[in-house]
Structure 1
Amino acid sequence: TTDKKITDLIEKLGVKNKIKFLGVVDVPKIMTDSDIFVLPRTTAFGTVTFPNVLLESMACGTPVITSNVGGIDEFITNGKTGVLVPSKNIKALENAIGSLINDKDKRERIAINARLVVEEKYSWKKITDKIINVYEDVTDEKR
């Protein structure tokens, strides 16, 4: 099974004491309880340029650090609603993580700004309104 392969690899790499399998978890609670969320990326995910997990973290009030690939800077303003680092730049990622870990005020400021952006632009109400507007434009009908 996949679980067996993973546990065997963990044993082989000698990192068993650094990894904990949690089973079924309350993901929003974990995100809310986390100080930061890090998603390093090397490329955009196909046609998906903005992973939902970033919006979910932002909605939970958890500041995000991610790589600036695939148009991500259209959604996240560096230093205001998240932290963007160059792709494959380990030193920049390390510095960004250290910067947020060591600066509670910065973490809180980014978290507040990010949550506001999600509420203002990416709530289900906002998304459905945009979709309805597209359909209305295409069909030339109004509610």
Structure 2
Amino acid sequence: MTKATAATEVSTMPLQLVPHIHRATHRIGLYLAALREHGLSQGESHILAQLAGSAPATIGDLHRGLAHKRSTLTSILDRLVERGLVTREVGSGDRRTFVITPTAKGRTVARQVHAHLVALEREVGKRVSPADVRAFLKVTAAVEDAAHELTRR
């Protein structure tokens, strides 16, 4: 097979994973938008949901959990700080580290976002088997790893 043939074959090959992941991600964003009274972006919602179960957290913890670019994460955290939902303090053990802690208002909103996502996962759990969930986690981990590796080349 020549490079030209391989390129043509790839360009006509239908995508099997990415469109479904993209669509599901978009639907989750729309689902999160149902919490309109808080006016949160999808990124803000995901950070608060992560903080609901693991606060306080360092910026590094949030980066590992969400895989945002650091500049994007900083921008989202700036907005959450401005809205009084989180505080950002210099770490006591390492002054190069910032620790993110939800405020009282932020904890309330974080619990609501987390509960909203738990409700979604419970509904999904009614529609699929535990084996389906394990397979999904395996596939999404492989997609994430491959995308990360290809980005670093």
Q: Same fold (TM over 0.5)?
A: no
Normalised by the length of structure 2, the TM-score is 0.25
Flag the structure with higher helix content. Answer: 2
Normalised by the length of structure 1, the TM-score is 0.27
